[in-house]
Structure formats: C-alpha cells, structure tokens
Amino acid sequence: MNWHKQIKILKRILSVMKDISLKTIYFNLKYLPFHQAVYLPIFLSRHVYLMNMKGKIVIEGPVKSKQIKIGFKGVGIFDHKRSRSILNIFGDLVFCGEAFIGHGSKISIGKEGKIIFGNNFRMSAESSLASRKGITFGDNCLVSWDTLIIDTDYHKIYDEDGKQLNENREILIGNNVWIGCRCLILKGAKIPSGCVIGANSVVNARELSGENKIFGGQPVKELKNNITWEN
C-alpha cells in the first residue's frame, strides 16, 4: 500500500474518531447489550449533560452506527456550542429506528414514564419532553424548536374529599406529524397521522378529529383539511 492510500485511510479514521466522545462509548455500553453497543448506534454530542442515567433504553429493529444522534446542531438560530442537551432518565426510552434530537433539547422520564420514538424522528432544537406516564410518536415525526410536550402536571391537585383531580395521561402522536415551533402539547393529547400543528398552539386532552389536517391556535382548532406536508 503506497503512502497516499495510507494517509487517506488515516484521515478517514481520524475523522470518525473526532466525532466519537468517551461519553458516547460509555452511554452505549451502559444501556445496550454488547452486540448492539459495539456499533455505537447512539451518538452523543459533547454538549449533552447526563443528569441521571437510570431506567432502560431499547433500540427495536436493526442497529447501525450513528442511527440516533443527540445534542448536535439542529437549526442555525441558536448557539449550539453553548446550549447543552439534558438526559434525565429513570423510566423507559425506546427507539424504533433512526432519530435526531437537536442541541439544547431536554428529555426527562420519571420512574413510571415511557417515551417511544418511531422511525425517522426529528426534534430540531431547544425543545423538551417530560414523561411520567407515556409519550408515543409514530414514524416520520418532526418537532420544531422551543416546544414542550408533557404528560403530567408534576404537582398533584386534590378535591375536598382527597381525590386526585389531575392524574397523568398518555400522549399519542400519529405518523407523519409536524409540530411547529413554540407549541405546548399537554397530557391526554392525541394528534392524528398526517397532521400539522401550527406554531404557538396549545393541544390538550380535547381529541383532534381526522387525519391530514392543520390544527392551530389557543385553544387549538381545525384550520385546513386534506393537506400533505414535505418531511
């Protein structure tokens, strides 16, 4: 092998190694069975803060290198070098394929919580997911920046008889759903497949009816039907 080829191979190896942090290696070995971990399917940016590493992480289906990226640059309107992502995991986190979770995003899962990402999930930047019950995304979903999706109120509220009034409720999001920037998705929300949630909307437990529609506003309402959107 001549020295030109050797230099090319060395550059390629250094390029790959540059993207691999010790945090990435540790995270994969901690959470995944060895036959999956050796592929390093989960890549963590150096700006990811591992607040708590309890619970369980599962990758369903075939595994390949870099199929899940967390904390890397998502959109150009934020300072990705100073905005760190946070993983606070006590419950279950399930990936059903490829996922991209942009810089500054936060994921918090309680002991009884569970978050499931369908294949080709993307969250651009600075958004947060908090689960104490369950949040499920279908395939090909996109969450824009500054959005909060939360299935709990965190603090319990009781009536005069001591009955809890605000139990945690699961959030279900279908396939091919685009959630615009600065949205608030609350417990009990159900978003049908093919839908777009307009920027700065609030979606609560009131069930949205029908697929392939645009919903928006506070409170959310139907704005347009029979739509498709470019993923």
3-state secondary structure 88-112: EECCEEEECCCEEEECCCEEEECCC
CATH of 3-225, one of 3.40.50.360, 2.60.40.420, 2.70.70.10, 2.160.10.10: 2.160.10.10
DSSP assigned state of 140: S
| pLDDT for 11 | 58
- Domain range annotation of the chain: 3-225
- The residue ranking higher by pLDDT, 24 or 19, is 24
Q: Above 60 in pLDDT, residue 34?
A: yes
| pLDDT, mean of residues 84-93 | 96
Q: Above 90 in pLDDT, residue 9?
A: no
| pLDDT for 17 | 53
Q: Which pair of structure tokens corresponds to residue 152?
A: 């709990």
pTM (2 decimals)?
0.89
Cα end-to-end distance, the chain, whole Å = 44
